[in-house]
């Protein structure tokens, strides 16, 4: 059951005028600048404006089935800090904007912005659960991130699996299917009801394996497109 807490109904604060953190909210004007810059790039290239109607798999030459790892609960995805663009589309709504995601072994923090750089939501996940703070400075708490984002934002954010998928691999917690091309590069992953297709990869520099640049995720009627503009992996 999601616990609702109105942080500040009496403050009458607009996000664009927001200066001081409220109960740990880390959205601030300086933090919006990367979102604005990314959104400008988004406007020029329209990379997330249109989602593909279907996932193509012409390059697939083999499919690998993976089983859950024995010590999966103790395995964490590598730490990363990324900036990018996001587009959401389902039968009832659509959304395009930018995002910032910091993933650590014990926590996740995701900030969502509109194309104009205004804060939409802050999602934090740690050992105590999940917290979502909206642009109206309302805080919601739950134990499951997908159910919480579905109820408050209207679409699911699969952080548990996405922390692996966005790095071009499957989650070790559950069974998965992986499609590879003739060079053994990942083309698509099917896991936990999600279908993840990789359109392009960033050049390998510090990391020996190229990291995904563009991902298309499909879950039933929901389509999510992610374009990663800046990768920092630790």
Whether the pLDDT of residue 126 is over 50: the answer is: yes
Q: What is the pTM of this model?
A: 0.74
Q: For the chain, how big is the Rg over CA atoms in Å?
A: 18
Residue 228 to residue 231: CA distance in whole angstroms: 7
Compare 59 and 189 and report the one with higher pLDDT: 189
Q: Give the phi and the psi of residue 46 in degrees, each rounded to 5.
A: 50, 40
Tell me what the mean pLDDT of segment 171-182 comes to: 93
Determine the pLDDT at residue 45: 40
pLDDT at 71: 76
Residues counted in the chain: 234
**What CATH number has the domain spanning 3-7+26-233?**
2.50.20.10
Domain boundaries, the chain: 3-7+26-233
Phi, psi of 134 (to 5 degrees): -90, 175
Per-residue exposure over 166-200, b if at least 16 CB sit within 10 Å of its own CB, e if not: bbbbbbbbeebebbbbeeeebbbbbbbebbbbbee
Whole-number percent of the chain with pLDDT over 90: 58
Q: Please calculate the CA angle 16-51-227 and round it to the nearest 5 degrees.
A: 60
3-state secondary structure 120-174: EEEEEEECCEEEEEECCCEEEEECCHHHHHHHHHCCCCCHHHHHHHCCCCCCCCC
What are 35-78's pLDDT values in tens digits? 444 444 444 444 444 443 334 445 778 999 999 988 766 677 88
> What is the distance between the alpha carbons of residues 213 and 193, in angstroms, rounded to a whole number?
22
Q: Where are the alpha helices (DSSP H) in the chain?
A: 29-45, 145-153, 159-165
């Amino acid at each position: 059951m999601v616990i609702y807490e109105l942080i500040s109904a009496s403050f009458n604060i607009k996000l664009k005028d927001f200066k001081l953190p409220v109960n740990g909210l880390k959205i601030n004007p300086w933090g919006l600048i990367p979102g604005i810059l990314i959104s400008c790039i988004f406007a020029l290239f329209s990379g997330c404006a249109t989602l593909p109607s279907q996932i193509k798999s012409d390059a697939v030459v083999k499919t690998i089935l993976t089983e859950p790892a024995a010590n999966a609960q103790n395995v964490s995805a590598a730490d990363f800090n990324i900036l990018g663009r996001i587009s959401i589309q389902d039968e009832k709504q659509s959304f395009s904007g930018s995002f910032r995601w910091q993933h650590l072994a014990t926590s996740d923090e995701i900030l969502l912005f509109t194309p104009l750089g205004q804060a939409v939501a802050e999602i934090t996940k740690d050992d105590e659960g999940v917290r979502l703070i909206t642009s109206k400075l309302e805080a919601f708490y739950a134990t499951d991130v997908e159910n919480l984002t579905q109820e408050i934002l209207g679409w699911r954010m699969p952080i548990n699996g996405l922390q692996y998928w966005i790095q071009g691999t499957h989650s070790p917690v559950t069974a998965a299917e992986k499609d590879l091309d003739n060079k053994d590069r990942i083309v698509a992953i099917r896991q936990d009801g999600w279908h993840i297709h990789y359109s392009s990869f960033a050049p390998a520099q510090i990391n020996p394996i190229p990291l995904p640049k563009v991902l298309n995720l499909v879950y039933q009627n929901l389509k999510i497109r992610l374009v990663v503009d800046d990768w920092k992996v630790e």
